[in-house]
Structures are given as C-alpha cells and as structure tokens.
Amino acid sequence: MGTPDQLPNPDLDGQPIDGEQFGAFTPEKFELVKGYLFDSREHPESRRNLLKLLLVNLGLVEVVRSAPEERWREALRHAYKPGGT
C-alpha cells in the first residue's frame, strides 16, 4: 500500500488507507484560498495529496464513472501527448 512518507498508488478497486497515511496526507482543516482548497493555485500539493488518497480509497473504476467517457479520453490525450504537461 505505501508508508506515511509515500503516497499509495490508486488501483482499479478501492483500497483502505491507514491512520498514518490519513494524518500525513490530509490537510488539518478545509480552507478556501482565492477559490482553491487549502492553498493558492500555485501550491497544489495539499489538493494533490488528498485527491490521491481519495483515488486510492474509492478506486479508479468508480472515479472514472464520475465523468463522461469522452472527457476522460480528452484528459488522457492532454496528459500523455508528446511534450504535454
């Protein structure tokens, strides 16, 4: 699964997270900063950590069901295009 100093990788099915991972990668409190959770747009680390824990906990199959297939395909094209961001 991973250790408190390492985020686990999401799998197809949801997996439990432990208390140490929860404490290490969940912000202490929810805040809204200039329209972004936990910090400004320039500092996405807290959002990224929480999202990854949620992806692990819910599982990728269930996450993919949350948006239309074409949006996922578009996102994959952008994420994996040569020289892409």
Q: Where are the domains of the chain?
A: 19-80
Give, for all 85 residues of the chain, the pLDDT tens digit: 445 567 789 999 999 999 999 988 888 888 998 899 988 888 888 899 899 999 999 999 999 999 999 999 999 999 998 865 5
Supply the pLDDT for residue 82: 82
Phi and psi at residue 7, in whole multiples of 5°? -70, 140
Supply the pLDDT for residue 2: 47
Q: Measure Cα distances from 24 to 2, 64, 74 in Å.
A: 12, 26, 32
